[in-house]
Amino acid sequence: MNFLIAPSYSKPEAIPVAQKIVKILQKKGVTPFAEEEIANKLGISSDFSPKDLNFIITCGGDGTILQCARKYIKLCKAPIVGVNLGKLGFLADIHFAQTEERLNQLINGNYSIEKRLVLQTTLPNGKSFLTINDAVIHRGSNRSLIELKVLINDRLLNTFKTDGYIVSTPTGATAYSLAAGGPLILPTQDVLALTPVCPHTLSNRPLVTSGKDALTIEYVSPLKPVDVTIDGIERYTLHTGESIKIKASTKYLSMVSFADRDYFTILREKLHWKGSSQ
């Protein structure tokens, strides 16, 4: 078996955790690889082919998983499992103390794989980007609200007067969309969450639509250009009259899931849900 180890570049504690993972895997006869800079620090090989990987293990937070997924989703089908060194971590959900136990489960086949919807966002310049969490249009430097025309399958949904608009995958539903009042969505569902950001009209509420729908969002206000961000990484400046197009990608995000760790448990823990106070 071949594992790619991908620790965060921004968390000092990630390398020691990755070193522990490497030792565990080597004792079990598994071959760990890493990208060149990290491989040198871990004392392992960087000579791997993505298509030969069985798993990708990240050490960091959800951002580490996003960056890794965006890089490898086109190159291989290896599922991702995250060791959580962040604060919240809806995606990176293995606690450091559980690392050896979870690695044993992976090696012994005691896991399942969640296949999650990924989007393709196309900009006016023709460039397309895979979108794992969300595509966001925001008013940027404009002092006033902006108007965005949203079409679903070429049919007008509405022209929203708002601070911005979020198109989120189920994976991204617990990110910016949730903070803006969007719905929680089970990550394996084939749907999209459309969430206006601080809309002028309170009746403009979030909408859940099919993952098979094709969206067009046009910036119609005669104001300064607005910002488009994709997964908080790719950025574009959208001018009046320009639009972005969003549809399901042929790729999908594969995440490892363990039988004793379901999504409802994650929600209860991460969102600190409580039952009766009695």
Q: Is 262 a catalytic residue?
A: no
CA angle, 184 then 260 then 30, to 5°? 110
Asked whether 2 and 31 are in contact (CB, 8 A), the reply is: yes
C-alpha pair distances (Å), 264 with each of 99, 110, 175: 21, 20, 16
Residue 81: helix, strand or coil by DSSP? strand
Alpha helix segments (H runs only) across 111-242: 176-179
Asked whether 76 and 50 are in contact (CB, 8 A), the reply is: yes
Distance CA(251)–CA(120), nearest Å, equals 9
Give me the catalytic one of 47, 52, 62, 260.
62
Asked whether 196 and 206 are in contact (CB, 8 A), the reply is: yes
Catalytic residues: 62
